[in-house]
Structure 1
Amino acid sequence: MVPAESDEPKLILTYPHKSGFNTIGWPSMVSSSLIVLSILKHLISNGSDFSDTMIIVAVLIYGPILIFFMGSYLFLNGVKLEIDENNTVKYYTYGSRGQSVLHFKFRFEDIEQVTVRKYPFDCSKVTVTIRNPICCVWHEKKLNKQVSVNIIADRKASESFRRHMEQFQRNKISA
């Protein structure tokens, strides 16, 4: 009897939702926004030339910083890489409504290079260079070029991916 193939992927690379950044990111953004808003309210009620200058400085400095942190908090979770039991790899991105969209699928043999760089908050940036992936956005079409994708993932999962890739390369060479 042949065992049924499961739909569960054996490895998923995605941003860790319970990381240190997510734990402190949202509360610190909210609290710092409230502090800056209360300072701006106090400066507006003061009504002097110095307070007008300080309002402009606070908005010009704090606004871009807040937008950067909100953007990184909301869009860090935007990609996912799944490896199936039959060594098929699928690369997903998330849409604006949280639904994942399959962009590329490829075989493990199509991976040319994997680079892992350590990031803070127990994360790693995994860059995968793929040779001739199948683009699945509107309809399946094989791209005849090299594509590079980036995934920010948990350090343990990225090391597991690197070890899995090394084991696959060793098995490919020995075969």
Structure 2
Amino acid sequence: MQLECLQDDPKLILMSPYKDTFNRVGGPSIISLSVMVLWILKHLMACNTDFSDKIVMAIVLIYAPLLIWFMSYSLFINGVKLEVYKNNIVQYYTYSNRGHSLLHYQFKLQDIEQLTIKRRPFNCVKLTIKIKNPICVALHEKKINKLKSVSIITAKLKADAFMHEIQQFQSDKSDNQVS
């Protein structure tokens, strides 16, 4: 399986994280929550009592780490991309927030041993794919002679399209065996 045979565009791309939904929900939530907490802190500091000082410290100690975590989560999360080509070759990439992608595995649809689907919030699903004998393309092309597992969180519609591709491939494969 050579990389030169993949000159055409992929027919299906699955990407994780499903950043569109996270950005639509996460960004405004972080901003509105920050404004509310700052407003509460301003009014508590104006009271200037021992109880309000303790509440201010508790809010800062709880809210500040959460805010830092949510902001860094959206900035530094690594993503995963799965591309399916017309000749039934699948490529598994990881990429950083800066857009640098690294091809890890390359395999055929027939190499998929097991596929599990778990529902996630925001109309997403987590696909866990177990692949037999994938080709590791990270540093140099090398066939791995064991079962590897990869996971990707993607939109439910894209996962359904991927499942349809696998079912179509399996039905074509069974038709060819019968003939």
Give the 3-state SS of the residue equivalent to 1:30 in structure 2.
helix
Distance 2:109 2:46 in 1: 63
Residues matched between the structures, number: 171
Letter in 2 for 1:11: L
Provide, for residues 14-34 of structure 1, a one-character-per-residue CA deviation record: whole Å limited to 9, x for no partner: 144443x43222111122123
Aligned twin of 2:31 = 30
Gaps of 5+ in 2: none
Does residue 10 (structure 1) correspond to residue 11 (structure 2)? The answer is yes
- Normalised to the residue count of structure 1, the TM-score between the two structures is 0.81
Letter in 2 for 1:57: A
Percent identity (aligned): 49
Distance 1:13 1:78 in 2: 11
Letter in 2 for 1:95: S
Letter in 2 for 1:119: R
1:1-175 maps to which residues of 2 (within 5 A)?
Answer: 7-15=8-16, 16-19=18-21, 21-44=22-45, 46-74=47-75, 78-174=79-175, 175=177
Mean alpha-carbon deviation: is it higher for 110-119 or for 48-57?
A: 48-57
Distance 1:103 1:13 in 2: 15
Contact 2:76 2:97 in 1 (8 A): no
Shift in Å, 1:100:
1.6
Gaps of 5+ in 1: none
Provide, for residues 102-132 of structure 1, a one-character-per-residue CA deviation record: whole Å limited to 9, x for no partner: 1111111211111122222221111111112
Letter in 2 for 1:109: Q
Shift in Å, 1:78:
0.8
Letter in 2 for 1:105: Q
Root mean square deviation of aligned Cα: 2.6
Give the 3-state SS of the residue equivalent to 1:54 in structure 2.
helix
Shift in Å, 1:10:
0.6
More helix as a share of residues: 2
Distance 1:145 1:55, change over 3 A: farther
Distance 1:157 1:128 in 2: 15
Give the 3-state SS of the residue equivalent to 1:166 in structure 2.
helix
Distance 1:44 1:101, change over 3 A: farther
